Amino acid sequence: MAEEKEITPQGYKENPDLLPVPAAQRAKGYNALTFTLMMFSMNTCIPMFFLGPIGAGLGMDLWQAIVGAFIGNLAAVIAMYLNGSVGVKYGIPFPVQLRESFGFRGLHIPVLLRGFAGTMWFGIEAWAGSYALTLIVLFGIGMSTTQAIDATFTWLIVALIFYVATFILVMRLGLKGIGKVADWGGPLMLLYFIWLVWFLASTPEFGPNIPNLFISTASYFSLNFLIYLAVQTNWWATVALNISDLSRGINPKKPRAFFTGLFIGIVICQIVGTALGYAAVGLTGTILPQDIILKYAPGGVAIIVGLIFAFLAPWSTDIVANAPPLIDILMATLKLRWKTAVVVAGVIAFFAAPWWAVGAAADYVNYMTSWASNYGILLGPIAGIMIGNYWVTRKRNYDLQKLYTFGPNGNWYKGGWSASSYLTLLITWILCYLIAVPTGQLAWFGGIPWPGGVMWYFAVVISLIVKVLLDRVFKE
């Protein structure tokens, strides 16, 4: 544990919500169980169940999908651990951590990039939860399964308003509120789907489809398997950047809680979720988990309970994973206080949810899959730069007072910008494009060519090495 001392912002007025978590509060912070449940809650969301079917679409059988989930998520967790150890040791949030590697002024661009990625996921999850909530209401008033699904896209926007309102209410409670939601949101959703898939597999209607789950048309050494690894890794590569926003709440006297929570709550949970999603879609031929619950859960009570969990799962993921980076932008760049930033984030989430772009289940899946496959190039280099700075250049020692000092006595570098970090970003992006083009990993999203596939792995490693070398050149 780092030595505790009084930190006084110098040369500027600090947002109080960006100060280190006080020692007394951290001593009562998350233990291994609470943090594991928090990661479970973050990880267990409706989009998670699409990872299995994506593997099936790439030619993977169930076992290959499970292996891909293990390797892909372990890579993301390693990056999370290396980057989030700063939060455990010093109790600082993501924007403040960036001051060391990017400079006091230079931090804003990586904050914006991470916030943009989080906002997109925020909207995707909000759509999923609002869809489930709309089905609950329409089924509850007596609509048939087909009528409810057809009418959902018309009334979803009303449920979205409720979704955002409840998000704002909980998030305004701060870290304490996040911890309470994390204790029960994710595990209940996962347990329900374990039961539902077991029920489906044991019925005469779907039981004969089980052998189809073990048919493979791609090998472990194929390009398709590498692409699948990238999809699994990209799923939580976003949180690898701002994990300190969550790890700063861990009791520093129980540091093992950090890796325990990451490994069990993300790697193990993602394996289970991938297998469940693969099996549920493979058995029924239905894409959306919400529709599977509505069509095939046995009885009205099972349907309503399942759809409630389908609402809570993305809602808790937005609270734990997707909202904090957007709130970081509002606090670090616009200087808003936490409670005000939460309200603004909720309004942004309403418009980020693809209710304006999605008119059917297939559209939603395509929208989500396209995004998940192509944004790793934005975030991978930032993760590598932060990890290289902390573990190699600074040898795991940060000067807290410098992080809260504006001007040459703080993390100022060249006018508040780290030349080594931004040159590393540029070099990494160029090299990733040069690697992606001849290897066929260049994809289009939003009219822009993105290095996709396994480029996140290259981006992290390249940026880490280049950052360490340039730190020595620029003597930063």
pLDDT at 447: 78
Domains and CATH numbers, the chain: 18-365 (1.10.4160.10)
The alpha-helical segments, DSSP class H, found in 253-336 are: 256-262, 269-284, 289-296, 300-317, 323-332
The average confidence (pLDDT) of the chain is: 89
pLDDT at residue 181 above 60?
Answer: no
Lookup result for tokens 């980057």: 83
Query: Each residue of 383-397: pLDDT tens digit?
Result: 999 999 999 999 999
Q: What is the DSSP string of 416-464?
A: TB-HHHHHHHHHHHHHHHHHHTTTT-EEEETTEEEE-TTHHHHHHHHHH
Task: Provide the 8-state DSSP code for 3.
Answer: P
Query: What are 451's strand-pairing partners?
Result: 442
- Write down the pLDDT at residue 187: 76
pLDDT value at position 1? 45
Rounded CA separation 341/167 (Å): 12
* Alpha-carbon gap, residue 238 to 157, rounded angstroms: 27
Half-sphere exposure in the Cβ direction for 373 (13 Å, CA): 24
Cα separation, 325 vs 93, in Å, equals 10
Convert the pLDDT of each residue in 257-305 to its tens digit. 999 999 999 999 999 999 999 999 999 999 889 999 999 999 899 999 8
74 Cβ contact list (under 8 Å, min separation 6)? 267
* CA pair distance 105, 101, nearest whole angstrom: 11
Copy the structure tokens of residue 110.
């990586």
Going by the DSSP 8-state scheme, the letter that residue 417 receives in this structure is: B
Euclidean distance between CA atoms 270 and 73, whole angstroms: 7
Mean pLDDT of 311-335: 83
Task: State percent of the chain over pLDDT 70.
Answer: 96
> 59-72 pLDDT, tens per residue?
999 999 999 999 99
> In the prediction, which pLDDT does 47 show?
79
At 423-474, the pLDDT tens digits run: 999 999 999 999 988 887 887 766 778 887 788 899 999 999 999 999 999 9
pLDDT at 175 over 60: no
- 141: number of Cβ within 10 Å: 8
39, with CB counted inside 10 A (0-12, 13-18, 19+), is: buried
316-334 mean pLDDT: 83
pLDDT at 359 over 90: no
- When pLDDT is averaged across residues 347-367 and rounded to a whole number, the result is 83
Higher pLDDT, 234 or 280: 280
What the block records as the tokens of 432 is: 């990733």
Residues ≥6 apart with Cβ < 8 Å to 268: none
184: pLDDT confidence band, cut at 50, 70 and 90?
low
pLDDT digits (tens, 9 = 90+) for 67-98: 999 999 999 999 999 999 999 999 999 999 99
User: What sign results for the dihedral spanned by CA atoms 251, 86, 387, 469?
Assistant: negative
Structure confidence at residue 34 as a pLDDT band (50, 70, 90)? confident
> Packing angle between helix 361-374 and helix 108-140, nearest 10 degrees?
160
d(CA 226, CA 219): 10
Instruction: Give dist(CA 229, CA 305) in Å, integer.
Output: 33
Q: What is the pLDDT of residue 350?
A: 92
pLDDT of residue 396: 95
Q: Percent of the chain scored above 90 by pLDDT?
A: 54
Q: In the 8-state DSSP scheme, what is residue 268?
A: I
* pLDDT score, position 176: 57
- In DSSP terms, 448 is beta-bridged to 445
pLDDT band at 185 (very low <50, low <70, confident <90, very high): low
Res. 2: pLDDT tops 50? no
| Mean pLDDT value of segment 12-22 | 90
Confidence of residue 174 (pLDDT cuts 50, 70, 90): low
